Structure 1
């Protein structure tokens, strides 16, 4: 078993960076710059009208355009991620086994899906402030656990966990760091081919839970044909634009009641919604989007988007609105004008993972209401993108489309990285907690004020 003790022997490890001068927002071709241009405060606004034409330059649309898997190394001695001026980074824990989703219990305890070990870990609330603690194993023997949700949200009686193959729940009372009973299967037999990251979210009224289920393929190139009549009949029960065959009930967000007695598709055409969150103070569900390969280095943009009930987001026939995927040319002209365009477009192939809204007041006021998102980083393009945490700017609760780098510096050169940000959550004291699943690290980012 790997050591998972919070570091207690080290002094506070943080960096305060020099001021980053206000930068103009990169638009057009400049918005597609890669890791060399990343730095805290660097801003981009990718618009649907800026996208290049697709470059279908290989014969197999299920294959990536390019393979450049990163070489992951230990953090260089004394190295910390780069963050904006006035912020500090501290390492909370090391040697976790692929930590991914982080969720905060109502009492402040930190729950972490340790996907590599099949466990859910629970750290005491004090750990979020940098105190020494050892996590307990809340649950284990799960198949790649990912999503975690407390239900009901205010005074939970259960912890729901979404593993690759099922959604289960455990009995829970405030302060429990080890499940008091066995798991109860709520949704069984979720197929596990290809995308396996299943996130969870709970509606504000507590009546509904959501689970994201990614596609089984890149672009459903081998999907069997259906007649127009068969397609219409299928969509009546599965949703507009829903794919079929091995893709049935995949590339979707599903909604279910707390007992799992009613499960249906809530939104379709989302190739891989790896992260979900309810925007604070609203009933609006948000989703991160991992888009398809095979169309070139700058297609298709990853995204952050609000998710409408009954909404269709394009996959596999269209992308970023009514842009037809060449792999499905001419197949579904009826869908072209019904595709919803995501709210915030991000650099393609960034592997955008988790989203969290900043609803605390420990950061400067301008951060309140904005969304943070993690980018695990590209593996399928020549020049790397991602490997960072970004901040999506909101105005009056609405997305502006602009996003800026918040935590960068994980890429050492064109081949080598020392971290892949994956999970994130806002701690009760307003700090931002971030997991790196490449080196098994948990970071804490706090605001220390102007220097």
Structure 2
């Protein structure tokens, strides 16, 4: 491709134009609960009460984009007393997600947002995105880390799989390794302990990936007996402004068989459901959802919610229960009425994307069975939101206390918009530690309980 150069003022204008969300649409919806798994409406029960929220446009929609400056030597994020955080591995190219194989290897998906329009290609070429989200190309690989001597630091590092297409979700199921590229799910023959895959893959599921694609990430999760795989697919827009005909099979969690057949929409109306996990001791799926922008500083909160099969969670017509989005007013009162309230509000514009329930034994008892959520940080608030990992205590498979900060220290200087990195994926390790993926800082951090 021929590289283009532009003077500074022109480049800045192009970047601003590339961020324009467009105007709300008035199209007929594509995804509705009628397309989900067959669950009677009477079986879908509210599980939470909506918090008090401000009215739309109570404050103006603001923009505050971070400037990633990287981690100085010796500098780390901050964890609570009783824990220690260390660099598990570094020198990545946007480490976005991690998966632990049955034999304990750590697989790291390296991928990032890439430009899909001329304006964004220009912005990426000129490195105008100081938040390090938009780059000319994506590494498109999965890196394997192995700790052979169990000292909490990997001593084997290999390229496990390359030449992918914005990979994120990973899964070992039976004799197969699955990877969720932005445009589909591919599986490969796999044997436990192998350090790289060289054989051909089989694409078992096509996924929509065209047009606006900031929500390019696709995650994977299997049920307990391995009979079903769940695939998260974010929306293709902020609030359907590009037309709902462009949202087919998006803003959903899909359910498929291990061979890719039998696709159903497990749950709908989830704007960008990236993190998925099962609450310990239950058969209940939970997800962290990155909600919509441009309704003001305090709308709409991202959330953590249980996911009921066949349920509808509002996007784009409503949010946090039957609170109608004014940009889609009067279009689908039937779906507004059906919208479920999420259990946990995670704060507005936090970009809550990572999710891992703690199933280890080495953290203090109060953390066991609770949920860790990686908050990548967003642009649509006058003050920084997110840029941390939060913890939500659980008991009996349900939230049992207020959300609290767990890993902080990513913001270097809020006044100068400077951050060291941006946390996203979180993963629990077999030894009870927690991995935090920092895609802007190009590091994987390890949080462990302090030894007494």
TM-score interval, normalised by the smaller of the two chains = 0.7 to 0.9
Q: Is the 8 A contact 1:343 1:401 kept in 2?
A: no
Deviations 1:248-292 (A, max 9, x none): 111001110011122121100000001111223322111110000
**Equivalent residues in 2 for 1:38-437 (5 A)?**
48-55=50-57, 65-115=61-111, 116-126=138-148, 129-151=151-173, 156-192=174-210, 193-194=212-213, 195-223=215-243, 244-400=244-400, 402-414=402-414, 415-437=417-439
Q: CA deviation at 1:417?
A: 0.2
Structure 1 pair 330–56 and aligned structure 2 pair: CA distance change class (3 A): farther
Structure 1 pair 127–264 and aligned structure 2 pair: CA distance change class (3 A): farther
Q: CA deviation at 1:49?
A: 3.0
Distance 1:112 1:351 in 2: 20
Q: CA deviation at 1:391?
A: 0.6
TM-score (ref. length: structure 2): 0.80
Distance 1:277 1:127 in 2: 29
Distance 2:203 2:75 in 1: 43
Secondary structure of residue in 1 paired with 2:313? coil
Provide the aligned length of Structure 1 versus Structure 2.
375
Structure 1 pair 142–300 and aligned structure 2 pair: CA distance change class (3 A): same
Secondary structure of residue in 1 paired with 2:412? coil
Q: Is the 8 A contact 1:128 1:444 kept in 2?
A: no
Distance 2:242 2:430 in 1: 47
Deviations 1:381-416 (A, max 9, x none): 110010000111112221136211000011012200
Structure 1 pair 132–396 and aligned structure 2 pair: CA distance change class (3 A): closer
Secondary structure of residue in 1 paired with 2:274? coil
Gaps of at least 5 residues in structure 2 are 1-47, 112-137
Q: CA deviation at 1:50?
A: 2.0
Distance 2:150 2:81 in 1: 21
Secondary structure of residue in 2 paired with 1:200? strand
Secondary structure of residue in 2 paired with 1:337? helix
Structure 1 pair 350–158 and aligned structure 2 pair: CA distance change class (3 A): same
Q: Is the 8 A contact 2:251 2:268 kept in 1?
A: yes
Distance 2:338 2:162 in 1: 43
Gaps of at least 5 residues in structure 1 are 1-45, 59-64, 224-243
Distance 1:393 1:387 in 2: 20
Secondary structure of residue in 1 paired with 2:432? coil
Deviations 1:405-430 (A, max 9, x none): 00001101220000101111111110
Distance 2:162 2:365 in 1: 40
- Greater mean deviation of Cα atoms: 395-404 or 205-214: 395-404
Secondary structure of residue in 2 paired with 1:52? coil
Q: Is the 8 A contact 1:107 1:175 kept in 2?
A: yes
Distance 2:149 2:426 in 1: 15
